[in-house]
Every structure is written in C-alpha cells, then in structure tokens.
Amino acid sequence: MTANNTEKETKTCWRCTRELELNDINFGKDSSRRDGYAHACRSCTRQLVSDYQRKNRERKRFWNRSSRIRRRYGLTREFSFAQWLLKLNAFDYSCGYCGDPLQPDQITEDHIRPLSKGGADTTDNTVPACRHCNCTKARNEWQPLTPSQVKQLRRVRGEKAAA
C-alpha cells in the first residue's frame, strides 16, 4: 500500500469484482491471507455459503435416497451428482412430468423406465419429478417432457424458476 495515509485502502472482491474499502464491515477476517481478509466480500461469502449448504443438502438427500433404491436392485450408480445437477438445471428445477417448479426438498429422482422393469440406471433414464407425479406414476412408464417443453410450459404459465 502507499504511504499516503489519507487514502483508504481498498480491495476488489474476486466474486462480484466491486472495489470496497478494506475493513471488517466489508470483508471477513482470514488470517491465512497476506492482508488478513477474505478474498470475497461479506455479502458474497454469505451467498457462497448458503449456495454450498443448499447444494450439500441436495447432494445428501440425492445420495441417500438413490443408494437405498439402488441397493434394492443390486445396482451401483452409473452417474454422478454433478450430472444430476446438470439434469436439474436443464429442467429448470421443474418436474419432468407436470412441469411444476420444485423446491430442492421436493425433488425426487424418477426412473422413466422403472428399475423394477429393467430400466437402466443412467441419466438418460432419469428425470426430476415432484412427489405427486412420482407416486402417481409408480411403476408405469410415462413419457416425460423434454427440457425445452418444460421451459415453454413455464413461459406459458408465467412462472419463474424455483431454484
């Protein structure tokens, strides 16, 4: 920093790229950094933490639920959580059958062709579904909407993404 003490020291948040005055109000402490402050501003840090916690909750639910189902059929998972998130994104976090927007805790993972009927445990055979559709569908085979049909439906209904 410059020797000029009248000039306030600033720091650019790596995430939102705002240049903020370097103080406790704008940045959290981080002793591992040279300037003693975290590299993201406080509001970005809060956002990152809540994103992380939400994703982590989804991840846990997803792994627990699908492990239970797969164990029943003696299967091991063929796709990763990251692929599942891509799927959720493609469907705009909506049910693949009715197109309703889903909150993270309402999402279920549905096998289009049920595992009990020899359906493959792949992303291609999986869609996000609301509990209602998943339960009603049970062991039947329904043709799910495509991601673009879901988006179209949402546009027509004037709904915004849930997540």
Q: Torsions phi, psi of 21, nearest 5? A: -60, 135
Q: Torsions phi, psi of 162, nearest 5? A: -80, -30
Binding residue for Zn ion, selected from 9, 10, 16, 35, defined by CB under 5 A: 16
Residue 48 makes contact with Zn ion by CB under 5 A: no
Stretch that binds Zn ion, among 38-46, 73-81, 101-109, 119-127 (CB under 5 A): 38-46
Please list, in sequence order, all residues whose beta carbon lies within 8 angstroms of the beta carbon of residue 95, skipping any fewer than 6 positions away: 102, 128, 129, 130, 133
Rounded to the nearest whole angstrom, what is the least distance from the CB of residue 28 to Zn ion in the complex?
11
Residue with Cβ nearer Zn ion (84 or 91)? 91
Binding residue for Zn ion, selected from 13, 38, 90, 150, defined by CB under 5 A: 13
Residue 145 makes contact with Zn ion by CB under 5 A: no
Residue 88 makes contact with Zn ion by CB under 5 A: no
Residue with Cβ nearer Zn ion (66 or 95)? 95
Residues near Zn ion (CB under 5 A) are 13, 15-16, 41, 44, 95, 97-98, 130, 133
